[in-house]
Structure 1
Amino acid sequence: MRSEAIVRASIIQRIFENESARVVVLQGPAGHGKSTTMQQIKSLCEERGYLTGWLTLDEADNDQRRLAIHLQALLNSITAAFKKMASEDAESGTPEKRREKTDWMIDQLIKIGRPVALFFDDFQVLNNKSVMTCFRDLVERVPANARFFIGSRSVPDLGLARLVVNQKALILRADDLRFSPSEVEEFFASSDDLLVNETERSAIYRRTEGWPAALQLFKLTLNNPAVRKSLGDLGNYRPRELAEYLADNVLTLQKPKVQEFLLRTSLLQRLSGPLCDAVTGWNNSREILLELERSGLFLRSLDSDLHWFKYHALFSSFLAEQLRSQSSDIAREVHERAADWHLSQGMYEETVHHAIAAKKFSMAADVMNIWMTQLVVSAQLITVERWYDRLPFEEIAKRPDLAIKFAWPLIFLRRTQKLKPLLELLETFKGSGDYANTKDSAVALAMAAICADDLPKSFEIISSVELEGRDPQGFSAFELSAGANLVGYHYFASSNFESARKYLALARAYGERGDAAFSSGYTVGVRGVSLMAQGQLREALDCFRQAFAEQRMHIDKSFASAALVSCYVWALYEAGELDQVESLFVQYHDVITSTVLLDFLAVAYMAMARTHDARGRPNKALEILDEAEHIAYANGWQRLLRIVNWERVRRGLLLSGIEKGRAIAATITPPASPLSEDRIFFADEFEGEAFGRIRLAIHETDASVATALLTDDMAKHRHRSYRLIKLYLLDAQLQVKRGASNAAHRSLRKALQLGAPGGFVRCYLDEGNTILHLLKEEYQAVLDAGSQDVPFGTDREHLEKLLHASGTDLTRTSNPLSPEPLEPLTDREKEILIFLANGVSNKEMAGRIFVSENTVKFHLKNIYSKLSVGSRLQAITAARQLGLLH
């Protein structure tokens, strides 16, 4: 904090008096003193014993993976400071040992146990939806020992309105940040060599309205008599015009050499002595920087060692415009020299920026080729795309390895139009080079094919690649890891689980060798789904939980997490953990929507839609299915479209009957070229044509067709326990339709025996009332057996878990499965029950039936009592069991 800066006492007082405000936003246009004020707050926080951390954001932080790396570094620095402070504080005792890198940002802040203040400056540069979602999650859950301070030119879209109402956030706007008349007086009085009388001070205050940057510009220029004389003529100047007028005077007051220095260095994103020497050709730049910083000439240090500096954005933009208007050749020379210097220091991002500004595209492409290895494997996909958009395509086309590296992020970001010319180029490289030097495009083309859902083409390409027995390094290790993932996926689809495990292990080994956080989520996702397919749901959940923690997923909502989270959501759904399903899906919605492959997206969306249905929100379920359908059309994913529509068929059959299901099924276009019937891709294992055709046949009471379809599917996929559970449940429904109760229970028991060890829940309940009725009959048989052996090896604990999840009350003293309500429902209560089933809120019900909201609550209370339930979901489930809802 600058010693001569005016202390913003009133602002600081408001902040520290509002201790309940965990988030403080300082919002105002450039030059309103946001950074300076936050520096003062930071110093005072440190005096009060806070641990502090500061992160200045820039445009590149719209890459969520890059931002995650910076947030982790910020937390590590605070943790390191905490460890040092704790070791020096004898009274604090020995702190528990903490990992250097923790998994959860909020959890880490809580564990520190001391007050923490985090400062985020230049927040207005963030516009990526996923990044904003990440910050929204953070500000909503700031722990009691932490405060977030945000400096931004605009109010960030972080859901602050609710936080402000709840006194959890405080927003200080431009009017709050402007200097008061007394502060303006103090500001000018702090300069011994500048005498400003009351009239001049009042005129300056009127012209600037307390705008701190303009006041500083006046302070720097009032030694110029022309500026003093012009005070009365500046009333019509707009803020930008006033700033330019004053900045021009600031520049002309400097010595010629300082003017030249200011102009030449204005094109630099940050400044250091050696860098400025390189672009000016001088050898005393550090001394000039220190003098400028001491004089308050809109230059601030970025570190305590006074090594790096940065101009105020308002001042540097003015200087840069002046330089370009004076000489475009000099501007280009500055960029060239800056590019050369940054390259010599291994600073690739700044090198590429200045090389492109200097139109040295060949140099920029060569540097990108080096830098891309790091960017792609660490999943900084948005950063890669940003530079792809700025490089001429002809420079990329000259470098096969660069073209391949650029293709990967665009494939996973699903940038179909941008990919077209690249894929055409990659076809010419296929099979013509070696992987060690990233010259063969086969793996990238195989991944592009699977992203386009052309699975046969993908498997055909990848089968030609020798994956085993290699010793890959760097980017080739990442590529071969992705190739091994594809082969593992292929074997999984063919029910060859052991070969799938082998190649997924190979993928993981190659990924670790290439430090490819990028592909690890994909590897673990397929591995966990493979375990689920074999009936090992508990093992799959353990696999997902461990990987979820290792990858710091709560911070890193990038592609590295999206594939894993999608599969985790599915596993949690099958285990009946609906709260976690909803929480994870909402948190990771944006990244799942924008970056994952078809199967991953499908299972996440289907799980969320069914969660809404299970919680009595059918309209919300339809919204999710509609969104998935939109994504399918946008990406040309016909298979996803079919999966969504077969899910609509399932819901139609359960909720409305055969006519609805048949009508929806008639609209589904069959695949142009069906896959091998022996292959099952995991989204189709959740829901798809095979299950849909069987359901239709059962509801049509076409026993011969249903039996044939079931028998054929069971024979082909006898190694897939999860699929067999669902097939046996369908067979149980068929037997009920045929009136074969004993056969129905035999099929149900087979399904229970397969699902109990893994703890499967939802695949039973999703089949509706017929299966629920059979489960209750099965449980009644268990109750009737008393202390005797449980009949037919049925797992009572599993049965009770299923019935409890269905909303069945097992605590009733009489027959817990009694099929009648304790008292008949009135017509009005039946009407409200229908509203409940359709997800209508209490307020909406009151409006529709012209009663008060309290009256609706009274009727709901009676309904719950008569049905012996305690919630909306249980009421809906019980009503369906009793035939009150169809």
Structure 2
Amino acid sequence: MTIPIVTTKLYMPPPRLKIVTRHRLIEQLNEGLNRKLTVISAPAGSGKTTLVSDWLASGDRPVAWISMDEGDNAPARFLTYLFTALQNIGPNIGSGIFPLLHSPQPLPIEWMITTLLREIMAIPNPFVLVFDDYHVLKTGPLDEAISFLLERMPPQMHLVMVTREEPRLPIARLRVRNQLNEVRASDLRFTYSEAAEFLEKVMGLELSPENIALLESRTEGWIAGLQVAALSMKEQKDVASFLQSFSGNHHFILDYLVEEVLTQQSASIQTFLLHTSILDRLSGPLCDAVFRQSHTSGQETLTYLERANLFVVPLDSERRWYRYHHLFADLLRQRLRSTTGEGERIVGELHTHASIWYEDNGLEMEAFHHAVAAKDTSRAARLVEGERMPLLFRGGVVPVLDWLESLPHEELDARPALWVMYASALLMTGQMTGVEPKLLAAEKALQSFEPDAKARDTIGHIAAIRATLAVSKHQSEVIMSEAKRALDYLHPDNLPVRTATTWSLGYAYHLHGNRTAASKAYHEALSISEKIGHFVITMMATLGLAKLQEADNQLQLAAETYQHVRKLAGEPPLPAACEAHLGLARIFYEWNDLHRAEHYGQQSIQLASQLEQTDRGVAAQVFLARLKLAQGDASGAAAMIAKAEHVARKHCFVIQISSIAEVQVLLLLQQDNLTMAARLAQKHDLPILQARVLLAQGDSSAALAMLEPLLVQAEAKQLEDERLKTMLLLAVVWHAHGDRAKATQMVRDALVIAEPGGFIRSFVDEGIPMKMLLCEVAVHGEMPRYIEKLLTECKGEGPKGEGNSNQPRHAASLIEPLSERELEILHLIAKGLSNRDIAQQLFLALSTVKGHNRNIFDKLQVQRRTEAVARARQLGLL
């Protein structure tokens, strides 16, 4: 579902046939083209837009033009017009980003701007981008986005801002850097000679030099005052007396002069001007729909007004769309309300007529604005809900939220669906704390209504929003109950909300371990979201399927699906793609491509940092900590996992605590702190790690008792990833237990499961016992290529394997690299320290030191301390 484009907003007003060329200002504007920004800032009626259009029309640079209005405060709508306008410069600009603009979830504007800048860099020729009426933009995020754009803008691009107010941008910094060209109100004032030329050539008046000077003095060179005064003087017999009759500031002058201009028009034209002043843009058919009191068509009247120079500005080359001069429109609107006995009622009716016309012509956003202006809550509410996709999801979240905030609670209680829309808008803008109170208000209001289809759909929408809130907290039970309730109550035609809810339900099944149900829900959500253009759900459902493929050990297929998610997310990637990058990191780790695994892990952290209230960055840090352990960087792993734990506890990311504890247990095992490792594994109920601790303690029987039920459970639930992980550890435990036959058979079974996915690291990380078992299987000629690859990677000699980064490359001939602790003890042995001395220096038990000695001798394939030292020197370890 796209945001409808009003093409006249992208049309640069053509130069008037009769105009005073402002040579001094055009020269100043030309000189400023070598800077980043030109700001033309002055009150209404100063001739800002006329100057810019005349300047650009006389130049040779292509122009992208946007006439801003209040609706552009919605980031998605602003970006839609920005990208569309720039397609006048490069036809393909933004073509890959448009689907992202219609996402129900807020997307980071800086990401969009970065993508835009990358595309602009490919444009070879200089061009100009104009924001007309920039002052109507009032939202901080858009100011930040424009500041971001200015900071990184390529040299072939020049930005022009036409505004009544000082832009909320780093103007001072740009000024200091000589990157700013400024045209202010004082620059725009007509000089005596310019005023004389305007009055004579444009307005057709013959005035004495004294009267010209008097008029220029009275208006202070203000073009709007000059124009209205000239229109008034055309019917004056005593021009000098007329000029002496008005004085004061601009607003008083214009009030007086507009009165003079209007009284010179027919009653029909006066009423036309007043009634159509409610419109931001004018077309013949639209004026006919609003103004119903004339036998003359709206198009004919607009043509007359343009010829009479009555403050109408053409907005396209065909003269089908116009607008009134902004200040003229403001004064007409004031007069409409003040001179009509039933002003408010008539104004409301006019806005309603305009809203109906816009809706009939497919411009729901404009229809909504006029419905709000008409104070027609029912019509506005219907337009917000939309027929196929709510207005919230089509770039309207900011104006809709502003409107909802303005309504009294009585109005919202009368339409409980508006409370729900209110909650949805807050959710979309990241204002999480305000969501639940709005949902409670909706439920309270619903108690006064009959349980009809509309009420049921509203109840379903409330449940769907609660399910979405629970997704961010990984609360599977809450997600499941609320999602099922939502699907029971939502109307069958409410596809946007039903689709998002189906995905939420799939996520809950996934958390529960019911992968079959999760897959079914993801496929259903994907099918519908692709049909209705619900881009975010398309991406999230695809991501869910990739995770299921990975969990089913289909690593190649999962990698392809993760890459597809990256394509959906664009370049640079949408932050939600952090999960796809983390999935790829895990897969490349398993393939023992540690360099690419680290690259994707770092990318995941970078993308996750752009999201709010998410634990994805912590998940990526946990992965990188495990990667550092594999690379032999224990201190780096410890630092990273400590940082991850701090963030997780600070933000209550409870689901990440067990993953953090897993890495901490592995670190403690490497440091031979078996007591703490056992305590932590038990505290967080980590049975596989508990088995590892038991194995390290030499209690293989207890480790078997821990692992065998886990394998049965994984097979029963078809948890293929858990099954493979458990089988490999079981093989090592059986080996330690002395049952080589069972250990070897377990490895054979694991190889059959692992070979299609290309698993490597799961074998390598089990160390020397696994290598010995693989060698035994290889003797029988089973799966020779795969086992040969695994044995090669175990030695750290493969093209992607990195081995132990703390040991020399020629030490790779060892069956298994020495650990950091073993290297430390080996150095002390070489210094001649006894086992007891080593135990005292390292604060270890004597039995622990003796155990390390046995491991060192086994790995070096020696029997005595002296042989160990000699062998270590030969290998470059000492």
Tell me the TM-score normalized by structure 1. 0.63
Secondary structure, in 3 states, of the residue corresponding to 2:612? helix
**Is 2:517 the partner of 1:517?**
no
Partner in structure 1 of residue 790 of structure 2: 794
State whether residues 604 and 617 of structure 2, in contact with CA within 8 Å, keep that contact through their aligned partners in structure 1. no
**Is 2:518 the partner of 1:489?**
no
Displacement of 1:490:
3.4
Deviations 1:849-872 (A, max 9, x none): xxxxxxxxxxxxxxxxxxxxxxxx
**Is 2:321 the partner of 1:308?**
yes
Displacement of 1:289:
3.9
Partner in structure 2 of residue 335 of structure 1: 348
State whether residues 68 and 132 of structure 2, in contact with CA within 8 Å, keep that contact through their aligned partners in structure 1. yes
Displacement of 1:357:
2.9
Partner in structure 1 of residue 282 of structure 2: 271
Secondary structure, in 3 states, of the residue corresponding to 1:373? coil
**Matching of residues 89-104 of structure 1 within 5 Å:** none
Deviations 1:562-611 (A, max 9, x none): 6x424234335445466666667657855x327xxxxxx32245326876
Displacement of 1:37:
4.6
**Is 2:580 the partner of 1:568?**
yes
**Is 2:73 the partner of 1:54?**
no
Partner in structure 1 of residue 592 of structure 2: none
Moved more, 315-324 or 614-623: 614-623
Partner in structure 1 of residue 561 of structure 2: 543
**Is 2:420 the partner of 1:420?**
no
State whether residues 217 and 246 of structure 1, in contact with CA within 8 Å, keep that contact through their aligned partners in structure 2. yes
One-letter code of the match for 1:520? T
Secondary structure, in 3 states, of the residue corresponding to 1:593? coil
User: Per the alignment, do residues 9 and 64 of structure 1 end up closer, same or farther by CA in structure 2, a change over 3 Å counting?
Assistant: closer
Tell me the distance in 2 between the aligned counterparts of 1:617 and 1:198: 85
One-letter code of the match for 2:31? R
**Is 2:169 the partner of 1:171?**
no
Q: 1:641 aligns with which of 643, 653, 658?
A: 653
State whether residues 698 and 706 of structure 1, in contact with CA within 8 Å, keep that contact through their aligned partners in structure 2. yes
Deviations 1:814-873 (A, max 9, x none): 86999999xxxxxxxxxxxxxxxxxxxxxxxxxxxxxxxxxxxxxxxxxxxxxxxxxxxx
One-letter code of the match for 2:476? L
Partner in structure 1 of residue 228 of structure 2: 220
State whether residues 653 and 660 of structure 1, in contact with CA within 8 Å, keep that contact through their aligned partners in structure 2. no
Displacement of 1:244:
1.7
Tell me the distance in 1 between the aligned counterparts of 2:354 and 2:226: 36
**Matching of residues 467-866 of structure 1 within 5 Å:** 475-536=493-554, 538-550=556-568, 564-574=576-586, 575=588, 576=596, 592-593=611-612, 601-607=614-620, 632=651, 640-643=652-655, 690=686, 716-717=713-714, 719-720=718-719, 793-794=789-790, 808=805
User: Per the alignment, do residues 407 and 371 of structure 1 end up closer, same or farther by CA in structure 2, a change over 3 Å counting?
Assistant: farther
Tell me the distance in 2 between the aligned counterparts of 1:129 and 1:734: 60
**Is 2:251 the partner of 1:244?**
yes
Runs of 5+ unmatched residues, structure 1: 83-97, 235-241, 595-600, 633-639, 671-687, 822-881
User: Per the alignment, do residues 344 and 218 of structure 1 end up closer, same or farther by CA in structure 2, a change over 3 Å counting?
Assistant: closer
Secondary structure, in 3 states, of the residue corresponding to 1:269? coil
Partner in structure 1 of residue 30 of structure 2: 13
Deviations 1:528-581 (A, max 9, x none): 332333344554453344345456676xx9xxx66x424234335445466666
Tell me the distance in 1 between the aligned counterparts of 2:166 and 2:604: 27
Partner in structure 1 of residue 371 of structure 2: 355
Tell me the TM-score normalized by structure 2. 0.64
Displacement of 1:526:
1.9
Displacement of 1:254:
0.7
Displacement of 1:278:
4.6
User: Per the alignment, do residues 69 and 57 of structure 1 end up closer, same or farther by CA in structure 2, a change over 3 Å counting?
Assistant: same
State whether residues 283 and 321 of structure 2, in contact with CA within 8 Å, keep that contact through their aligned partners in structure 1. yes
Tell me the distance in 2 between the aligned counterparts of 1:367 and 1:619: 53
One-letter code of the match for 1:14? E
User: Per the alignment, do residues 810 and 698 of structure 1 end up closer, same or farther by CA in structure 2, a change over 3 Å counting?
Assistant: same
Secondary structure, in 3 states, of the residue corresponding to 1:54? strand
State whether residues 383 and 391 of structure 2, in contact with CA within 8 Å, keep that contact through their aligned partners in structure 1. no
User: Per the alignment, do residues 449 and 101 of structure 1 end up closer, same or farther by CA in structure 2, a change over 3 Å counting?
Assistant: closer
Moved more, 505-514 or 608-617: 608-617
Deviations 1:246-280 (A, max 9, x none): 32233133132566555544433333344445545
Tell me the distance in 1 between the aligned counterparts of 2:70 and 2:810: 64
Q: 2:357 aligns with which of 344, 361, 365?
A: 344
Displacement of 1:339:
1.7
Secondary structure, in 3 states, of the residue corresponding to 1:794? helix
Partner in structure 2 of residue 66 of structure 1: 77
User: Per the alignment, do residues 747 and 582 of structure 1 end up closer, same or farther by CA in structure 2, a change over 3 Å counting?
Assistant: farther
State whether residues 537 and 759 of structure 1, in contact with CA within 8 Å, keep that contact through their aligned partners in structure 2. yes
User: Per the alignment, do residues 431 and 274 of structure 1 end up closer, same or farther by CA in structure 2, a change over 3 Å counting?
Assistant: closer
Displacement of 1:312:
4.4
Tell me the distance in 2 between the aligned counterparts of 1:368 and 1:458: 26
Secondary structure, in 3 states, of the residue corresponding to 1:305? coil
State whether residues 273 and 286 of structure 1, in contact with CA within 8 Å, keep that contact through their aligned partners in structure 2. yes
User: Per the alignment, do residues 720 and 361 of structure 1 end up closer, same or farther by CA in structure 2, a change over 3 Å counting?
Assistant: same
User: Per the alignment, do residues 170 and 484 of structure 1 end up closer, same or farther by CA in structure 2, a change over 3 Å counting?
Assistant: same
Tell me the distance in 2 between the aligned counterparts of 1:135 and 1:402: 32
Moved more, 286-295 or 452-461: 286-295
Deviations 1:475-526 (A, max 9, x none): 5222332333233223323434344323222212222343433532332232
Q: 2:57 aligns with which of 43, 49, 53?
A: 43
Deviations 1:391-446 (A, max 9, x none): 45555555566666665555555544344343564596999978899736336514
Secondary structure, in 3 states, of the residue corresponding to 1:388? helix
Displacement of 1:315:
4.6
Same amino acid, percent of matched pairs? 20
State whether residues 355 and 361 of structure 1, in contact with CA within 8 Å, keep that contact through their aligned partners in structure 2. yes
User: Per the alignment, do residues 69 and 466 of structure 1 end up closer, same or farther by CA in structure 2, a change over 3 Å counting?
Assistant: same
State whether residues 29 and 153 of structure 1, in contact with CA within 8 Å, keep that contact through their aligned partners in structure 2. yes
Tell me the distance in 1 between the aligned counterparts of 2:40 and 2:688: 55
In angstroms, what is the RMSD of aligned CA positions?
Answer: 6.3
One-letter code of the match for 1:43? A
Displacement of 1:694:
5.7
Partner in structure 2 of residue 831 of structure 1: none
User: Per the alignment, do residues 433 and 11 of structure 1 end up closer, same or farther by CA in structure 2, a change over 3 Å counting?
Assistant: farther
Tell me the distance in 1 between the aligned counterparts of 2:482 and 2:39: 54
User: Per the alignment, do residues 753 and 538 of structure 1 end up closer, same or farther by CA in structure 2, a change over 3 Å counting?
Assistant: same
User: Per the alignment, do residues 144 and 417 of structure 1 end up closer, same or farther by CA in structure 2, a change over 3 Å counting?
Assistant: closer
Tell me the distance in 2 between the aligned counterparts of 1:216 and 1:388: 37
User: Per the alignment, do residues 323 and 723 of structure 1 end up closer, same or farther by CA in structure 2, a change over 3 Å counting?
Assistant: farther
Deviations 1:360-396 (A, max 9, x none): 3233333334467342555754454344334455555
User: Per the alignment, do residues 488 and 195 of structure 1 end up closer, same or farther by CA in structure 2, a change over 3 Å counting?
Assistant: same
**Is 2:186 the partner of 1:186?**
no
Partner in structure 2 of residue 459 of structure 1: 480
Displacement of 1:334:
1.8
State whether residues 219 and 225 of structure 2, in contact with CA within 8 Å, keep that contact through their aligned partners in structure 1. no
Secondary structure, in 3 states, of the residue corresponding to 2:280? coil
Deviations 1:153-206 (A, max 9, x none): 6676778999889x8x9333344x752788673354233126585997699689
Tell me the distance in 1 between the aligned counterparts of 2:640 and 2:240: 69
**Is 2:265 the partner of 1:253?**
no
State whether residues 420 and 442 of structure 2, in contact with CA within 8 Å, keep that contact through their aligned partners in structure 1. no
Tell me the distance in 1 between the aligned counterparts of 2:805 and 2:516: 40
User: Per the alignment, do residues 731 and 356 of structure 1 end up closer, same or farther by CA in structure 2, a change over 3 Å counting?
Assistant: farther
User: Per the alignment, do residues 531 and 653 of structure 1 end up closer, same or farther by CA in structure 2, a change over 3 Å counting?
Assistant: same
Secondary structure, in 3 states, of the residue corresponding to 1:304? coil
